[in-house]
Chains A and B, each alone.
Chain A
Amino acid sequence: MNPTPLKDRAAIVGIGQTEFAKHLEPSEKALACRAIAMALDDAGIAAHEVDAFAAYTMEATDEVEIAKAVGAGDVTFFSRVGFGGGGSCATVGHLAMAIATGQADVGVAWRSRKRGSGPRPWTDTVNQLATPAQWTRPFGLLRPVDEIAVLTRRYMHEYGMTREQLGAVALACRNRANANPAAIMYDRPLTLDDYLSARMISDPLCLFDNCLETDGALAVVMVSAERAVDCRREPVYVHAFGQGLPAQHHGMVNYWNDDPLAGPSWTAARQLWKHADFGPADVDVAQIYDAFTPLIPLSLEGYGFCAKGEGGAFADDGGLELGGRLPVNTSGGGLSEAYVHGFNLITEGVRQLRGTSANQVAGASTCLVTAGEAVPTSAVLLRRD
């Protein structure tokens, strides 16, 4: 039996996205349909050929509504992945598995969200208080940023990470956004002084440690490797895929185990690299989930780009910039392009391997894309021929 039946068997052949803004008029359902139609057009594949869907459990529109609006055919595979932004890459991974095992031929994954003009999830005090939040929220850890601020302060204490290093993370994303016309922050430069003097949101995290609040939708289209070579665009193969829900993990309030600073990325990474033909040193560019700046150093450690505790220093001396140790979030990421639960990191990974990024890494042939760290997560390794 082939020990790695998933490797390079499916490819992303179409990407689509709406514009990104603080407020878009169409509904999440309408935006989702538009992004999917653009992705199908990009691929050169007719809607009636779509027979698989994958989405986040937080997606507001179900497969029935999407399929009947976009004109999908008979659908034989549909899956949902939980845990907010932790599910982003798993939508691609699940479609790759469905295609590789013959459960479907043409898959669509999407995310549509009006997080810019819609409500902040943490203000829902009824549905947000179930386990484990009852042990944390009444005391004032109300928002994801508060939960991550606790981990960040501990990380700074244990390993000496500085606010300047977190600032370097924010700047790397902003600098890329400043060259990407699709980015919300395209025309808004940021300096380290701006960062250090910004108001606190949850000390030690300031305004610029937080992702944007965006309306927008994105989609990808996937087919088998055999079919991909006949599509309109150069195929971007799913080389490896991993999900991660570590033993005794507790979600974003992951305080109750031996090492809360080794999060789900460590588990997803072990699965990812186990089946890959190459390692972290061979990754040309990475799109690392960045709802908050400290998730990038934590993820760099989990995915093996540096040793534990060295994630902060990895950002020193332009380490995350173009030409640095590992260029990251080359569209601007969630911090500076758009926050659509990490789906824009997937499409940017595809653009890098097509050679069409606004911040192209010369000759990039491998890209790691990760989903949210600090929640049950997922990651895909993308490559081209």
Chain B
Amino acid sequence: MLKPLVDDDGAPYFEYAAKGELRMQTCANCGEVLFPPRPMCPRCQGIEFAWKLMSGRGHVWSFAVPHPPLLPDYAALAPYPVVVVELEEDRRLRVVGNLVAAEEADINSVDPATIEIGQPVRAVFREIEGFFVAAWIPDA
């Protein structure tokens, strides 16, 4: 499986993910929450940032269900759903991830036919080949 490429701007996100926290880059000057991370706040041009803890709750904004041809690790699990989740704190904060039946379940563990746009989900964190990433599970 592909692992995220960590760059200067995004490194804190993955450090917090390893601790089980979903945190978003936030401008220390004006408070704008930024995703994806970047080196400057587009609202006030601030260059100092804090990392704001998110609730980890959101709703499915949309999803795709890839079928082959795919990279071999993904083809072996296809078809699998990939969701874009709108965080409840701000609808422009949309995080791409896998919707899974349980924290350690495979990326094809949720039947795509059962997924609905707007359904509530919550973040869990799981290790993939030594790397921690957020995944989403259906929320009550």
Contacts and interface: CB of A to CB of B under 8 A. Distances in A.
Interface of A: 120, 123, 125, 129-143, 146-147, 149-151, 153-154, 157, 199-204, 248, 250, 253, 255-258
Given A140-B80, A150-B82, 14 more contacts: A123-B71, A131-B9, A132-B36, A138-B128, A139-B107, A139-B133, A142-B74, A146-B82, A149-B66, A151-B62, A203-B79, A248-B42, A256-B35, A257-B92
Contacts of A157: 62, 117
B36 A140 contact: no
B63 interface: yes
29 contacts: A120-B69, A130-B5, A131-B7, A135-B10, A135-B96, A138-B4, A139-B96, A139-B97, A139-B107, A139-B133, A140-B66, A141-B64, A141-B66, A141-B82, A146-B82, A147-B64, A149-B64, A149-B66, A150-B62, A150-B64, A153-B64, A154-B61, A203-B65, A204-B64, A255-B61, A255-B84, A256-B35, A256-B36, A256-B94
B4 A202 contact: no
B98 interface: yes
Interface centre among A133, A138, A154 (most CB of B within 10 A): A138
B126 to A, nearest CB: 12
Nearest to A137: B2
A203 B71 CA distance: 17
A35 to B, nearest CB: 29
Contacts of A154: 61-62, 84, 117
B112 interface: yes
Contacts of B84: 150, 154, 255
Q: Which A-B residue pairs are the 10 nearest by beta carbons?
A: A149-B64, A203-B65, A154-B62, A129-B5, A134-B4, A134-B5, A138-B2, A136-B96, A255-B94, A153-B62
A200 B67 contact: yes
Contacts of B62: 150-151, 153-154, 157
Contacts of B93: 256
A138 B10 CA distance: 15
A202 B67 contact: yes
Contacts of B133: 138-139
Contact of A135 (B4, B63, B69, B80): B4
Contact of A125 (B2, B10, B64, B67): B2
Interface in B65-123: 65-67, 69-71, 74, 79-80, 82, 84, 92-98, 107, 112, 117
B123 to A, nearest CB: 13
A153 B63 contact: yes
B5 to A, nearest CB: 4
Interface of B (DSSP majority class)? loop
Contacts of A200: 65, 67, 79
A146 B74 CA distance: 13
B6 interface: yes
B140 interface: no
Interface centre among A140, A143, A157, A258 (most CB of B within 10 A): A140
A150 B63 CA distance: 5
A72 B112 CA distance: 56
A123 B95 CA distance: 23
A167 B96 CA distance: 28
A149 B97 CA distance: 15
A135 B36 contact: yes
Given A150-B82, A255-B84, A138 B1 contact: yes
B96 A255 contact: yes
A208 to B, nearest CB: 14
B67 A139 contact: no
B3 interface: yes
B119 to A, nearest CB: 12
Contact of A140 (B9, B74, B95): B74
A130 B2 CA distance: 12
B23 to A, nearest CB: 14
A142 B3 contact: no
A203 B67 contact: yes
A147 B93 CA distance: 17
Contacts of B35: 256
A140 B80 CA distance: 8
Given A157-B117, A257-B92, A202 B66 contact: yes
Contact of B64 (A132, A133, A203): A203
A202 B64 contact: yes
Contacts of B107: 139-140
Nearest to A259: B92
